[in-house]
Structure 1
Amino acid sequence: MSGGAPPVALTVAGFDPGSGAGITADLKVFAAHGLFGVSAITALTVQSTQGVRRVEPVAGALLRETLDCLAADVEIAGVKIGMLGSTEVTEALAGFLAASGIPRSRVVLDPVLRSSSGKALLEEAGVRLLREKLLPQVGWVTPNLAELAVLTGLPEPAQPAEIPEAARALARMAAETGRAAAGEAGLHVVVTGGHLDRPDDFLLAANGEERWFPGTRVETSATHGTGCAFSSALLSRVLLGDGPVEAVAGAKAYVRAAMKAAYPIGKGRGPMHHLYALEPKAGEGR
């Protein structure tokens, strides 16, 4: 990127004091892609690489005031949404997006519903509001298998062959609860397969195109925040001009490289390392 200020990317997510996930990890991803990151915290957490101990959501009014303050000062090119933490926060964010004028094609939702250690991060009423008011306002959603099941109400896919139909069900749900603005694409669904035997990801594009992205397992304990990094990298690639297929491929390559570059931090599932060349090394490909 040359000349002028970079695009401004907003992350709306929780604060991880260990910087492996959430707001601080998202800002690292934005910086690695040459974007300027701003943030609005949805919840404070007590956690480390060994798990989440406590979640304290912020007041919905405080989040909305933060978002309005940022939007009055800078032009927000796109939004990544992570952990919301409460129904109140979910409603405040939905209201902001409805009034913001930010194209839904530049809004990425990572539906963080449980921590990797199993702690629920959004109550049922919040999940329902996410489905009904937030999902129709985003252009991308990046659930893992468990999150896909919660959002659709279908059983969690037990094998890759079951993923496409579940993704179609989620896309239909979003279409039924909201309508895209004139000239805007609908919802791109990216199902992340990190919990599959082979970590393949699946894209159902808004135009109906379906594409698998093969993956290979990286033997590492640095897996904390992979979902956060993927969705933030995806938004970054979209803001830099990638089409849907290229954006998913680039985000997947980014996470893989950040995992491979990681060094030991903490006593549990450690963070990735974001300071490395974005392009894959010779022979690795995407």
Structure 2
Amino acid sequence: MTGPLPRPPVALSIAGSDPSGGAGIQADLKAFSALGAYGTCVVTALTAQSTRGVTHVHEVPVDVVRAQVETLVADVRVDVVKVGMLASVELVETVDELLRQGPLAEVPVVLDPVMVATSGSRLLAEDAVAAVRALVTRADVVTPNLPEASVLLDEEPVGTVAGMSEQAERLLALGARRVLLKGGHLGGDAAVDVWSDGAGDPVLLHAQRVRTSSTHGTGCTLSSAIAALRPQHDGWLPAVREAKSWLTQALRHADVLDVGAGAGPVHHFHELERWRTSSSAGRAPEPRVFTAR
């Protein structure tokens, strides 16, 4: 991908479904739409899930996952892929194969190595970790949080930004092309992520931490935002920066949704919330629009 497209990009999410709408396929499609991409999806798992947790997971048979992808790409152009929950060895290996061959072989991929939900529910079989490590080498960007990075590297989670930078470098050595290591688990007043692409020293991305319990689907949302924005930028890091800034605002406006009794969702359409608020005050804001280039 060499530059912004002259049309809205088409983004494909390959992930699990979340009935509560805050994570998974539902979060991905909301983020795609909010950020100017046309969203498509392939469902890998059905979950019984709310803001309080996951009570059941039903994996979609791999032949159905394969049929979804092949039927879609035979007709619809795909400019970028986001991969989320894959659940099992068979699903990981099937998606890996589909991304390495055929029409998706040259399409940029953002991999969110989903292992555990915000609520603490396990979303990846333990014997599938090795397959995810192999999939990491196909992704253009991998976006683990600290627990996920520790699993991928088979080492203890780190507790400092310096340790995060070191782990990001080790993920590159594992075969990742680019890494966004998310530091939300560190705590503190700042939300610091580490970007590393092997082209120089790791880059620290800072944002003010938003004090909210509405954090359901933050990982899904960030990775899908990066995917949606990449075709609209000349490189990955500008897309990552904008995605992080946008997510911070989605967290800042999240509590107004008041969804569920557990960890609520972020507000993917917070910019429309600004429109509603501004309209009631008799003034017009500047809504996000996609500009063809």
Scaled by the length of structure 2, the TM-score of the pair is 0.86
Q: Provide the residue aligned with 1:160 in structure 2.
A: 161
Q: Provide the residue aligned with 1:55 in structure 2.
A: 57
Deviation, 1:158, is 1.6
Q: CA separation in 2, counterparts of 1:50 and 1:7? A: 34
Number of residue pairs aligned between Structure 1 and Structure 2:
267
Q: Provide the residue aligned with 1:116 in structure 2.
A: 118
Contact 1:149 1:156 in 2 (8 A): yes
Q: Provide the residue aligned with 2:13 in structure 1.
A: 11
Per-residue CA deviation, residues 30-79 of structure 1 (Å, 9 max, x unaligned), is 00111111000110001101111111111111101110111101111010
Deviation, 1:212, is 0.2
Relative to 1, partners in 2 of residues 1:71 and 1:206: Cα closer, same or farther, differing over 3 Å? farther
Deviation, 1:208, is 3.5
1:188 aligns with 2:178: yes
Task: Look up the equivalent residue of 1:174 and give its one-letter code.
Answer: G
Per-residue CA deviation, residues 141-167 of structure 1 (Å, 9 max, x unaligned), is 000000000001121012111111111
- Structure-to-structure mapping, 1:121-270, within 5 angstroms: 121-132=123-134, 134-174=135-175, 187-197=177-187, 198-262=190-254, 263-270=257-264
Task: Look up the equivalent residue of 2:250 and give its one-letter code.
Answer: A
**What's the Cα RMSD here?**
2.1
Contact 2:78 2:107 in 1 (8 A): no
SS at match of 1:146: helix
Q: CA separation in 1, counterparts of 2:271 and 2:20? A: 23
Contact 1:31 1:37 in 2 (8 A): yes
Q: Provide the residue aligned with 1:23 in structure 2.
A: 25
SS at match of 2:186: coil
Deviation, 1:117, is 2.2
Q: CA separation in 1, counterparts of 2:78 and 2:107? A: 13
Deviation, 1:116, is 1.7
SS at match of 2:175: helix
Q: CA separation in 1, counterparts of 2:235 and 2:105? A: 15
Q: CA separation in 1, counterparts of 2:149 and 2:212? A: 25
Deviation, 1:7, is 1.5
SS at match of 1:52: strand
1:275 aligns with 2:269: yes
Where does structure 2 lack aligned partners over 5 or more consecutive residues?
273-285, 288-293
Q: Which has the higher contact order (CA 8 A, sep 6+)?
A: 2
Contact 2:73 2:103 in 1 (8 A): no
Q: CA separation in 2, counterparts of 1:228 and 1:147? A: 13
Deviation, 1:125, is 2.4
Deviation, 1:206, is 4.1
Relative to 1, partners in 2 of residues 1:159 and 1:209: Cα closer, same or farther, differing over 3 Å? closer
Scaled by the length of structure 1, the TM-score of the pair is 0.88
Contact 1:41 1:58 in 2 (8 A): yes
Deviation, 1:245, is 2.4
Task: Look up the equivalent residue of 2:81 and give its one-letter code.
Answer: V
Contact 2:99 2:105 in 1 (8 A): no
Q: CA separation in 1, counterparts of 2:34 and 2:234? A: 16
Relative to 1, partners in 2 of residues 1:58 and 1:148: Cα closer, same or farther, differing over 3 Å? same
Relative to 1, partners in 2 of residues 1:56 and 1:205: Cα closer, same or farther, differing over 3 Å? same
Task: Look up the equivalent residue of 2:27 and give its one-letter code.
Answer: A
Contact 1:205 1:244 in 2 (8 A): no
Relative to 1, partners in 2 of residues 1:92 and 1:135: Cα closer, same or farther, differing over 3 Å? same
Contact 2:195 2:202 in 1 (8 A): yes
Q: CA separation in 2, counterparts of 1:106 and 1:237? A: 12
Q: Provide the residue aligned with 2:275 in structure 1.
A: none
Q: CA separation in 2, counterparts of 1:36 and 1:142? A: 22
Q: Provide the residue aligned with 1:178 in structure 2.
A: none
Which range is displaced more, 157-166 or 18-27? 157-166
